[in-house]
Amino acid sequence: MQPTKDSLYIALRDRLVAVDPNRTVTLDGVTRPAIAVLENEPPSGAPLLCDTFYLHWGNARSASLQAGTLMAMDCTIAYCTKGSVPNASLDRGRDLASLDCDLLAICSPPQTPKYDYSSSPPLALASTIFWTQPVLTAAKSVSPYVGRDVTITVFFYPEVNQT
């Protein structure tokens, strides 16, 4: 299961660098692509950062009886923005649209090879993960922020000895 989580994150991160190289964030003093897996970040009382995609993993289950060992796992990608100070935050809707656009771009094509990143160099697992089209929920507005959650379902075959 962990290679599936890691492979999705790496795929989305690398695609974000290609799609919008200027969308970066400074986390732990390091500037990196503005995407993070919440469970991989140090626990902190600090609020989540704006203009950053945060991946949250949800339910994992068998995909269906007919699909053999195929499994499905939900992933929620949350993000928000408060616009820019020079524009008095009036552009937060446009910024949200820009985030939406980037997210839709990095989710396509909806597949990527699966790697085991716990070994160095990463070990190809000779299989592919794939996911559903992103479902964008209604934008939530909590002044001065506006944001939304996007859900995808990731399908994968579990490895025999994977953790």
Partner 1 sequence: MSGLQETSPGRGCAARRLANALLQSYGATQVTIRVADPSTGDTGSQLGIEPPPSEDLQIAPCVATSLPPSEDGSPRFEFMLSATALAPIAKDHGVTDVATWLLTAEGVLHHDQLMHIDHVIVDRFSGSDCFYRIQATE
The single-letter code of the amino acid at 111 is Q
Least distance to partner 1, CB of residue 64, Å: 29
Interaction site with partner 1 (CB under 8 A):
6, 9-10, 13, 28-32, 36-37, 39-46, 117-118, 120
State both tokens at 113: 């090879």
The DSSP 8-state label assigned to residue 78 in this structure reads: E
Least distance to partner 1, CB of residue 121, Å: 10
Nearer Cβ to partner 1 (44/66): 44
Nearer Cβ to partner 1 (31/143): 31
Give the helix/strand (H/E) hosting 130.
Answer: strand 123-131
Is residue 1 within 8 Å of 158, Cβ to Cβ? yes
Least distance to partner 1, CB of residue 30, Å: 4
Nearer Cβ to partner 1 (22/66): 22
Nearer Cβ to partner 1 (10/136): 10
State both tokens at 77: 């990608």
Give the helix/strand (H/E) hosting 70.
Answer: none
Least distance to partner 1, CB of residue 40, Å: 3
Is residue 150 within 8 Å of 132, Cβ to Cβ? no
State both tokens at 16: 């974000």
